């Protein structure tokens, strides 16, 4: 085996046990590393779980996927059709503008605030710096072009969503308020001691200021930074509510039976915009419980009664088997099949700027 192949398989191995650490039979009952709190309908005292726990993927399934499944070959560079942009640092409070940075990193500007989701500017998303999934396109907003960030939403602790290097730079530069689910604060504060963090459980609500409320909502996923901490930190979606608008942001989720989407509609009465993941979904037999596909995302858009949708989590880091442009194509077909306007749900690319229609 040559050196290049060795590092490739070493990277896949590290990521299999870390980023894709859904290996239930490796867990040994022990003390939670990140969080201590009362038992709930999604926390057993050590591990977090989905309310209807579909966390059943075994280590043998993980090996089966890695050894026998064929991954599509992505181009070295998958360039966005949009050039890198420099967002306006301040917008009217009654407007919503979303700028795609890349993967799950989006700049949401609403209620006069600059909100950044799952900020990742690193070249790779892996526990090892020099192996693992690498970036196939540059960020749509260069770090130096980011406006001053008021709020950061960290949905969970996977490396393609929780990038400590990027967070550290943002804390040093802007000192934003970081909203993240239970347990993730421990991970962040161990690396960034001065980070301003607000943790929350599913169902929690926080008033950021007079203009914005932040709600923590359930999603169907899991968490891990390594081989021994699976499900020891919670994962969550968010609803941002201003006097004028509501935005629903989901970093990662399986569709399940669609209950989480229905519950958001019931609780919030629909939303102006849903930002939903549409990538990293093949093979379905392995990914279905934690990553929805574009067809399911379209159904979710309707179930949560969203007026508009933006699809993210595709085209930047190759995490699973599908082709680089498959999510965008499948999304378009799903919209057409359900007779929905193509502009209602857009697969956004780095540098693309979307404004809520008035």
In the predicted structure, residue 69 carries a pLDDT above the cut 60: yes
Three-state DSSP state, 94: coil
As a whole number, mean pLDDT of residues 307-327 equals 98
| DSSP string for residues in 129-188 | TTSS-BBSS--SS-GGGPPPP-EEE----STTT--HHHHHHHHHHH--EEEEETTHHHHH
Interhelix angle 59-68/3-17, nearest 10 degrees: 150
Which of 27-31, 129-133, 216-220 is predicted least confidently?
27-31
Model confidence band, residue 19 (pLDDT cutoffs 50, 70, 90): very low
Predicted confidence (pLDDT) per residue in 178-188, tens digit: 999 999 999 99
In the predicted structure, residue 244 carries a pLDDT above the cut 50: yes
In the predicted structure, residue 2 carries a pLDDT above the cut 60: no
Q: What percent of the chain has pLDDT over 90?
A: 84
Flag whether 36 is in a domain. no
As a whole number, mean pLDDT of residues 37-60 equals 84
Name the pairing type of β-strands 212-217 and 205-209.
antiparallel
Three-state DSSP state, 197: strand
In the predicted structure, residue 12 carries a pLDDT above the cut 60: no
Residue whose tokens read 């890695």: 66
Read off the CATH number of the domain in which 262 is found: 3.60.15.10
Which of 47-61, 263-277, 337-351 is predicted least confidently?
47-61
As a whole number, mean pLDDT of residues 112-121 equals 98
Domain that holds residue 220: 97-355
Domain total of the chain = 1
Name the pTM for this structure. Answer: 0.91
Q: Is 77 exposed, middle or buried (0-12, 13-18, 19+ CB in 10 A)?
A: exposed
Flag whether 245 is in a domain. yes
**Cis before residue 283, ω within 30 degrees of 0?**
yes
Interhelix angle 184-191/164-174, nearest 10 degrees: 70
Give the C-alpha distances (Å, rounded to integers) separating 313 from 247, 249, 281.
17, 12, 10
How many other C-beta atoms are found inside a 10 Å radius of the C-beta of residue 175?
14
In the predicted structure, residue 174 carries a pLDDT above the cut 90: yes
Instruction: Report pLDDT for 56.
Output: 57
Flag whether 227 is in a domain. yes
Instruction: Report pLDDT for 251.
Output: 98
Flag whether 82 is in a domain. no
Instruction: Report pLDDT for 264.
Output: 98
Residue whose tokens read 């419980």: 289
Give the C-alpha distances (Å, rounded to integers) separating 256 from 47, 53, 104, 133, 238.
20, 10, 21, 26, 18
Instruction: Report pLDDT for 61.
Output: 80
Flag whether 201 is in a domain. yes
Element (DSSP H or E) covering residue 206: strand 205-209
In the predicted structure, residue 5 carries a pLDDT above the cut 70: no
Instruction: Report pLDDT for 44.
Output: 95
Flag whether 3 is in a domain. no
Instruction: Report pLDDT for 178.
Output: 98
How many other C-beta atoms are found inside a 10 Å radius of the C-beta of residue 129?
10
As a whole number, mean pLDDT of residues 144-173 equals 98
In the predicted structure, residue 197 carries a pLDDT above the cut 70: yes
Model confidence band, residue 73 (pLDDT cutoffs 50, 70, 90): very high
**What residues contact 21, with CB distance under 8 A and at least 6 apart?**
224, 226, 227, 229, 230
In the predicted structure, residue 240 carries a pLDDT above the cut 70: yes
Mean pLDDT, the chain, integer: 91
Instruction: Report pLDDT for 63.
Output: 80
Instruction: Report pLDDT for 54.
Output: 63
In the predicted structure, residue 306 carries a pLDDT above the cut 50: yes
Predicted confidence (pLDDT) per residue in 261-303, tens digit: 999 999 999 999 999 999 999 999 999 999 999 999 999 999 9
Flag whether 337 is in a domain. yes
In the predicted structure, residue 13 carries a pLDDT above the cut 50: no
DSSP-assigned letter for residue 43:
B
Model confidence band, residue 354 (pLDDT cutoffs 50, 70, 90): very high
Flag whether 305 is in a domain. yes
Percent of the chain as helix, strand, coil, to the nearest 5: 25, 20, 55
């Amino acid at each position: 085996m040559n050196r290049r192949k060795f590092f490739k398989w070493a990277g896949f191995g590290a990521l299999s046990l870390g980023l894709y650490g859904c290996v239930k039979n490796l867990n040994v009952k022990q003390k939670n590393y990140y969080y201590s709190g009362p038992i709930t309908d999604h926390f057993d005292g050590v591990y977090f779980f989905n309310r209807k726990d579909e966390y059943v993927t075994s280590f043998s399934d993980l090996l089966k996927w890695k050894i026998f499944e064929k991954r599509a070959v992505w181009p070295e560079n998958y360039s966005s059709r949009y050039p890198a942009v420099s967002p306006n640092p301040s917008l009217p409070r009654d407007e919503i503008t979303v700028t795609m940075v890349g993967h799950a990193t989006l700049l949401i500007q609403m209620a006069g605030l600059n909100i950044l989701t799952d900020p990742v500017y690193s070249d790779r998303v892996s526990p090892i710096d020099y192996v693992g999934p690498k970036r196939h396109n540059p960020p749509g907003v260069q770090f130096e072009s980011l406006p001053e960030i008021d709020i950061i939403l960290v949905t969970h602790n996977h490396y393609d969503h929780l990038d400590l290097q990027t967070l550290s730079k943002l804390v040093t530069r802007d000192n934003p308020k970081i909203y993240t689910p239970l347990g993730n604060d421990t991970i962040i504060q161990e690396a960034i001691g001065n980070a301003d963090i607000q943790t929350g459980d599913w169902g929690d609500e926080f008033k950021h200021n007079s203009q914005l409320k932040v709600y923590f909502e359930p999603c169907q996923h899991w968490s891990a930074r390594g081989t021994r901490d699976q499900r020891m930190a919670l994962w969550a979606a968010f609803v941002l509510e201003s006097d004028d608008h509501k935005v629903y942001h989901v970093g990662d989720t399986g569709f399940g039976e669609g209950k989480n989407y229905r519950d958001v509609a019931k609780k919030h009465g629909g939303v102006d915009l849903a930002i939903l993941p549409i990538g990293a979904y093949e093979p379905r037999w392995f990914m279905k419980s934690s990553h929805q596909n574009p067809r399911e995302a379209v159904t979710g858009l309707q179930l949560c009664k969203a007026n508009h949708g933006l699809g993210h989590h595709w085209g930047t880091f190759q995490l699973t088997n599908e082709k680089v442009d498959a999510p965008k194509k499948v999304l378009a077909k799903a919209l057409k099949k359900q007779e929905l306007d193509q502009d209602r749900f857009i697969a956004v690319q780095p540098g693309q700027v979307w404004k809520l229609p008035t």
